[in-house]
Structure formats: C-alpha cells, structure tokens
A = this chain, B = another copy of it.
C-alpha cells in the first residue's frame, strides 16, 4: 500500500481561538468523510496572525506541548484514526517560545514535533519578536502513511531546509503556512510574489524528488490599522514538480490522493542525489567574508 489520501485545510481564522479549533474540527470531519488519512492545518491555525504587531501580552497565547490544543486534537486523531499535522504556538519554558508543529498519529500519540528553524521578520511579520529559532533541527517522522517531513512557512524559501528534511527520509514535505499580501503592495508585486512562492516550492519537489504540500490560511486580518490579505493557494506538487491540486483564495479543503511510489520513480529518472558533491559543500556552513 503506497497510496494515501491527504487533506489540506485552508481556513480563515476568527479572533476566537475556540471557534478556530471548532472550525478545524468541522473541516477535519469533512476530510475524514472523503477518506483523508493525513490532515494538515495551517500555521498557527488557532489564532489570528498576531505577529502583525509586537505586543507582549500575545505571549499569553502560547501553550505547552502536550497542552490543551494537542490534547483536544490527539483525541480527534484517535477517534477518526487519522494522522494530524498540527501547528501550535508553543511555550517551551519561560522566555522560550516557538512556532511549532506537532505530528499526531492515528492512535492519538504525539510522535514528534518540529520547531520552525528559519524565523522571518518583515513589516507586519514580526516573528523574530515572538519566536526563538528552532532548536530541534530538521526532521522527518515515520508514520503508517509514509515518512512526513515538517517545515513551516518561511522555511519554504530555503533549499537547505527541504534538502535536509528529505535527507532524513521525508517522502512528503508539509509546510503549514501564513503568507499573504501587504494590501498596498498587492497591485504592483502581488502576482510575482505568489508565483515566486509557488515556484520555489515546486523546485523543492523537483530537486528532491518529494511531494510538497503547502497549507495556507485565507482572509484579510486586521490588527489596529494594519492589514494582511492571506493568499490561500494551498497546493500539492508531485515529485516531478507537477501541481496535483491547488486551492483558490477561498476557504477550502483540498483532498488529494498521492502514490508514494512516485518518489522512487522520480529519483530514478532525475537522479540528483547520486551526484551531490558533498566533498565540496562545506561552504554551505559558512557566511561569506565581507565584500
């Protein structure tokens, strides 16, 4: 059995985290009805994207792992016998907060977690204020439905992240995401930004012979006088870089059957791994000298 069905829950977040969890549950139920075995939620799915502003009280939103959110969704995973990819704003210890994603298996057990390694900081994406960069490295998790690599949003732009996760064994890369347009930039740069985002992920699929799955939020979120328009477009690429399914910019569940045999097939026909020059890659571990 190399075939499995994955679901991408592209959702809009309210300001009420209980409600967001309820919406997620409702979508999970729909996905289960359609036969999904692995279900992925968007980055920080229980919350509006609070990183639009730097506000100390937002640290109250963080929780421990295991904690209330993982407990609720562990029992959901168990009762539906599904694998859940569950983003959580994690409090590791006082002063240590992470943008984390937990993998829960069909028995309801947490089989591991990934802490976002590359943390962005851009106007209205003030993640460096909130999140300590991940300290667990790049990870792949063995499940009954294949080896799942987890990366989060900004990690998307780093070929190193995809490569390292695949070298750990991943056959599918999941990227819970919160990406969108600054409304003032959308007209001039919006199309190019979205296409760049798709192109980079497509290339991870090709360069690594791996399925790539990005799960984004939708909706325009306001924080004071600031606004972000999350662009949806959640997408599944096969290991040759073809789009299997792609969402629009609406709330949507994407259900997609994938065949893990394609991973091996793609790596045979595009045998990049054979030819990596690991004897000459040391420079990747250094920053350049001044220039």
Other-chain contact of A275, B118, B270, B277, B283 (Cβ < 8 Å): B118
Structural contact, A240 and B281, CB atoms closer than 8 A: no
9-residue interface stretch from A103-111, A157-165, A245-253? A157-165
Whether A207 sits at the interface, judged by CB under 8 Å, is yes
Given A167-B283, A167-B286, answer yes or no on A277-B160 (Cβ-Cβ < 8 Å): yes
9-residue interface stretch from A26-34, A48-56, A196-204, A222-230? A196-204
Structural contact, A282 and B285, CB atoms closer than 8 A: yes
Expressed in whole angstroms, the Cα–Cα distance for A277 and B135 within the complex equals: 10
- Complex interface residues of chain A between 110 and 154 (CB less than 8 A to chain B): 117-120, 122, 133-134, 137-138, 154
Residue of A122, A159, A273, A285 ringed by the most chain B CB atoms within 10 A: A159
Whether A178 sits at the interface, judged by CB under 8 Å, is no
Structural contact, B196 and A240, CB atoms closer than 8 A: yes
Structural contact, B241 and A199, CB atoms closer than 8 A: yes
Structural contact, B192 and A281, CB atoms closer than 8 A: no
Structural contact, B276 and A158, CB atoms closer than 8 A: yes
CB neighbours of A200 from chain B (8 A):
203, 206-207
Expressed in whole angstroms, the Cα–Cα distance for A133 and B279 within the complex equals: 11
Expressed in whole angstroms, the Cα–Cα distance for A241 and B197 within the complex equals: 10
Structural contact, B288 and A118, CB atoms closer than 8 A: no
Whether A272 sits at the interface, judged by CB under 8 Å, is yes
* Nearest CB in chain B: distance from A240 CB, A: 6
Whether A184 sits at the interface, judged by CB under 8 Å, is no
Expressed in whole angstroms, the Cα–Cα distance for A240 and B189 within the complex equals: 10
* Nearest CB in chain B: distance from A179 CB, A: 12
CB neighbours of A169 from chain B (8 A):
288, 291
CB neighbours of A207 from chain B (8 A):
157-159, 200
Structural contact, A163 and B159, CB atoms closer than 8 A: yes
